[in-house]
Amino acid sequence: MILLKKNLLLNILLTFLYALVTLIFVLHHEIWADEAQVWLLAKNLSVFELFKHLVNEGHPSFFYLLVMPFAKVFSPIFGANAIISMQLICWLASVGAVFFILQFSPFNNFLKTAIILSSGFLYFFPVIARSYSILPILIFACAILYKKIKENPKLYAIPYAIVLALCANTHVITFMFVFLLGIFFVYDSCVKEKIITKQNIIAALIIFLSLAAVVIQLLGTFSQNGSIRFDIHNLWTETTKTFSLFFLNSVGLVYKSMFDKMHVTFVAASAAITMFFIFVLLFVQLWFTQKRMAFLAFLSIGFQFFIYITSYKAMLYQTRIFSAYIILIFCFWIAFQDERFKESVKIFGKKSLNMTLGIFFLMTFFCGLHAVFLDMMFNYSSAKQTADFLERNISKEAVVFPNIDAFGLAVYAFAPDVRFFSIYKDKDIKYMQWYTPGVYPDSVFSHMVETKIKENKFKKTYILVSSVMNVQHLEKTIPDKYKLVFKSNPSIATGEAFRVYEYTEGNKK
């Protein structure tokens, strides 16, 4: 009992230290477009409107509903500063996940430390405010409850089902994971053990109805979201890209630069190959240790990769792909708790398996450290800097025309009092709908701005230009009508450095 209390106090202390360090990173991080979109939807839509819109997002509802009360209550009071509440939700979820690892996982101290220092927990999950940032705490809660439902199914079956339901409705990449665990639950309780109780029936209904809810929410996404398309063209290239990004979590490289330049450094290639062979060995060991978990890992991670390769090509980030690592942690968590686990099986004993898994996760530390360094030294997005300029320097009646609606999302979130008008949709921008048509050339965009100014009789007008555009061409084509009034710092996020131009001809008194 005394030892347990000491371990609990030590784990609380270590969790507190982790929370303190990562909070520094969170407070320094400036949200970018994808993060801002969640906040804008939660702030501007009702629950009914949100569910209607989700098919356009390609994401289920739980994270949006979690953020919504904070956006509704705090935005009128604190304005753009209220966005920190969304960031703190993800940070707290990561802190909770780390405590679960320290207190409840069957791993040794080396492996626990390696997981906590991995790129996912050092940076991606606590700092980037996206729905997959809350997946670790949900998946680790599933791991804790997985064993407990066998010990006391009446008490734990429904809580287990609820956590799985939340997991399924957090991100579509967990669909196969939840589906398979639902099948395992039904087989173990109702078929194998023949324990058909009210609690088990309710739990099974919760799991599979939650999966049905995901399908209902997202049915039609391919036709409504221009960024998510089922496409098997360039299958080899997309497959190579996905697997490379998964294994290049060991170094601080971005996969795009690797493929654009067709160049991989010796260190990066060596690290990726090393991680690949360790991963294969780990999977073979998992197969010999517990085939059910090997089956779960293969299909769940494979399903994630299938989505990345065929549908999420434009949105393949290290932050998202690290969710596959979380599935791996879950599977070994359950395997280590299996009473049939032997000290020496085929490849690794338990001690050497802890060491090998630890090395696998510790190798990603460099990628996380690199991400922390960049975010601390530079602007992840320069949207807040740009929004601050707009809030301070343009009048209330002024209208701002973004040249690309999507890249300005974080600017809209940080400048709630500024009016942003979409040339593409012919209305004010409150959030993004992803079926927006392609970007107009500079000359066409300029003509459209002038047309809208005349049609709506706007008095003061500006254009917000994303760094993804060739601003030199813009300045050369319309030098007499547009004056550069602001230029932000560079950004880490693509396209999120900005320039603001004043339409001087329209703004003359």
pLDDT at 259: 43
**In whole angstroms, what is the distance from residue 87 CA to residue 218 CA?**
25
pLDDT at 316: 63
Give the mean pLDDT of 458-481.
71
Q: Grade residue 289 by pLDDT with cuts at 50, 70 and 90.
A: confident
Question: pLDDT digits over 212-265, tens only?
Answer: 999 999 888 877 776 777 777 777 777 877 777 787 765 554 444 444 444 456
pLDDT > 90 in the chain, percent: 54
* Number of other residues whose CB lies within 10 A of the CB of residue 319: 18
pLDDT at 285: 85
- Residue 400: φ, ψ to 5°: -115, 130
8 Å CB contact between 503 and 482: yes
Is the pLDDT assigned to residue 437 strictly greater than 50? yes
**In whole angstroms, what is the distance from residue 349 CA to residue 90 CA?**
35
**In whole angstroms, what is the distance from residue 97 CA to residue 90 CA?**
11
Question: pLDDT digits over 409-436, tens only?
Answer: 999 999 999 999 998 888 899 999 886 5
Q: Between 346 and 168, name the one with better pLDDT.
A: 168
- Pairing type for strands 419-422 and 344-345 reads unpaired
Is the pLDDT assigned to residue 495 strictly greater than 70? yes
Is the pLDDT assigned to residue 507 strictly greater than 70? no
Is the pLDDT assigned to residue 342 strictly greater than 80? no
pTM of the predicted structure, to 2 decimals: 0.91
Question: pLDDT digits over 43-56, tens only?
Answer: 999 999 999 999 98
Is the pLDDT assigned to residue 8 strictly greater than 80? yes
- Please, what is the average pLDDT of the chain? 86
Per-domain residue ranges for the chain? 2-377, 383-503
